[in-house]
Structure 1
Amino acid sequence: MKQIAVIILNWNGVSLLEQFLPSVLAHSPEATIYVADNASTDASIDFIKTHYPTVQIILNAANYGFAQGYNTALEQVDAAIYALVNSDIEVTPNWLQPILDTFDKEPNTAIQQPKILDYKNKSYFEYAGAAGGFIDKYGYPYCRGRIFETVEQDFGQYNDSIEIAWASGACFFIRSAVYKELEGFDASFFAHQEEIDLCWRASNKGYTIKYNPYSVVYHVGGATLEQGSPQKTYLNFRNSLLMLTKNLPKQKLFSILLSRMVLDGIAGIHFIFKRQFVHFIAILKAHYSFYGMFYKMYSKRGSEQTEKYYHTKSIVYTYYIKCGKIFAKS
């Protein structure tokens, strides 16, 4: 058994497998490679069997999305470290060794992410993860190297290995023992922000999450749901509220949820002024769905919540009012 398993979740992504699977195989001698397939109806499985017979295939019974898709697949993977990798990721030589070295040297580090750059513009960070994830007091996520729509160029300004609040699900390393202890991703999320929830739960248990700049990958992004998709808007707004309900310190829970709902309302009005009515409706649907799921999520709260869980009080205020559009000014 190899120490690390690379697991690529796939759904009707044969073109992405054709493009990116070769780099994973070429640069991952330390790992066993798996493709976990969410009941694809394209030629994905035939392609893998024909061209890459050494790749292990896990067949999920349906399209379970990101969260349950990985939860189901990982029941069949035996390794000390899981590397959960999107199918639209190009890896680079020696991308795994810095990750393994950190896990070996730091027993309390449970989760890591590499530097994630934009496949389409390789001198820039990529939206989904960049140089490590953070949240503000109200649960809005952002990254070193990417705040809302502002993405920074990589000049080496984030070439330090630091503790972060969350690691990107685009390329997510976790100790299998911790994954099992936390019972994996919350399948209620389906997709989007489930990795933030998992990292927050790990932090509440006392584990460390880190950004590792010595491992570099390139991410296409938006290959499953495009950035402007109303379904993406719905999932992001709903799942953020679910995450807050599960993980906020109890004394802050209801005041922050109320504040978030007001801020979400302002975001909805912003969409109306931009004539993006489908996104306004997506926010309404997100809130109605959240109301129906609140008690279920509240019952999942752990016995401990980290008091200082956020990096800055309000990234919305910093970004739009103070014009702090790069991480160094946030």
Structure 2
Amino acid sequence: MHLPSVAIVLVNWNNLQDTLDCLESLAGMEYREYGVILVDNGSTDGSLEVFRARADVDFIENGENLGIARANNVGIARAKERGFQCIMLLNNDTVVAPDMLTHLVDVLESDPRVGVVGPKMLYHSEPDVIWYAGGILKPWRGDAAHVGYEEKDRGQYDEQCETDYITSCCMLARTALYDELGGIDPYYFIYFDETDFCVRAARAGYRVVYVPRARLWHKVSRSMGGVGSARYWHHYMRSRAYFLGKFYPWPNRGVAYLWIFLHDLPRCMLRFVRKGVFDRIPAYLGGLYRGLTGR
């Protein structure tokens, strides 16, 4: 049986140890037809010296922090140059199961209509707690949510199914599909970039499939200072507002704007004040403004 070659694109930004842990887990995979393309976004933590010396990765230095979307596009371009048949975008703060890529490739190759596949994703700190078991778009809120988020994994999401999006924490697709769709929209710095890609794939007639037999463990938002940091809120709201304006027409967009301004915004502002994390306020508002204006 022919096994397609897979380029695994990792983006590193001052996460040396996480990336080393990820590479170690990749080396233990049973699927061997792969190569690692490691894109560095201007790290200053010693990553450059370490990875320049490694022969097991194709190392690309951006010299500055381009964000995850643009850095992934750099990796995708290198994978196309090298003739890989498939490309898997993978967060560098993950540890993969030995059979993860085998299961993903099996499903991708089972049907030409399958365009994008992704695994079940669990917390690295709590290996039996779900972070992602499928994705749901919420058009009237201009938002998206992970299925099974923070639920204990009891096998309740072990049925393979189509889903609204695969998170780019781990997303596998054929190189031809990245070509057809023009890669990842470079406007996104982080967040919603994969959702955008999956929506475009579905609109082009491809299936987006969640594969629960494939598993990984995610350390979650390490490069963003953790979920809930000022950096997180800025980029999440910027990407969310841009995604909403790009894909949803009126009146859907109008209702979503009402939800954000009358529900989400006051609730978050109150939470930030109560917790005394006042730096989140300009971060949230600035991200929302930039997303709405396309800046």
Q: Where does residue 10 of structure 1 map in the other structure?
A: 12
Where in structure 2 are the equivalents of 1:73-222 lying within 5 Å? 73-77=75-79, 78-126=83-131, 130-136=132-138, 137-146=140-149, 151-222=150-221
Q: Where does residue 46 of structure 1 map in the other structure?
A: 49
Instruction: Give the Cα separation in 1 of the matches to 2:259 and 2:228.
Output: 25
Q: What SS class does the counterpart of residue 153 from structure 1 fall into?
A: coil
Amino acid at match of 2:200: R
Amino acid at match of 2:65: N
1:49 deviation in Å? Answer: 4.3
1:155 deviation in Å? Answer: 0.6
Instruction: Give the Cα separation in 1 of the matches to 2:238 and 2:20.
Output: 34
Instruction: Give the Cα separation in 2 of the matches to 1:102 and 1:284.
Output: 41
What is the TM-score normalised by the length of structure 1? 0.80
Deviations 1:32-82 (A, max 9, x none): 1221122323322332344x4122212224221101111122111132211
Q: Where does residue 281 of structure 1 map in the other structure?
A: 282
What is the TM-score normalised by the length of structure 2? 0.89
1:287 deviation in Å? Answer: 2.7
1:274 deviation in Å? Answer: 4.3
Instruction: Give the Cα separation in 2 of the matches to 1:214 and 1:108.
Output: 20
Instruction: Give the Cα separation in 2 of the matches to 1:228 and 1:6.
Output: 28
Amino acid at match of 2:41: N
Relative distance call for 1:197 and 1:263 in structure 2 (3 A) is farther
Residue pair 2:26, 2:98 contacting (<8 A) in 1 also: no
Instruction: Give the Cα separation in 1 of the matches to 2:244 and 2:203.
Output: 13
Total equivalences in the alignment = 286
Residue pair 2:5, 2:34 contacting (<8 A) in 1 also: yes
Range that drifts further, 184-193 or 272-281 = 272-281
Residue pair 1:30, 1:96 contacting (<8 A) in 2 also: no
Unaligned runs of 5+ in 2: none
Relative distance call for 1:221 and 1:259 in structure 2 (3 A) is closer
Deviations 1:125-174 (A, max 9, x none): 12xxx11111223122211111xxxx101011111111111111211112
Amino acid at match of 1:90: V
Instruction: Give the Cα separation in 2 of the matches to 1:107 and 1:138.
Output: 33
Residue pair 2:237, 2:291 contacting (<8 A) in 1 also: no
Relative distance call for 1:42 and 1:269 in structure 2 (3 A) is closer
Amino acid at match of 2:92: S
Unaligned runs of 5+ in 1: 295-330
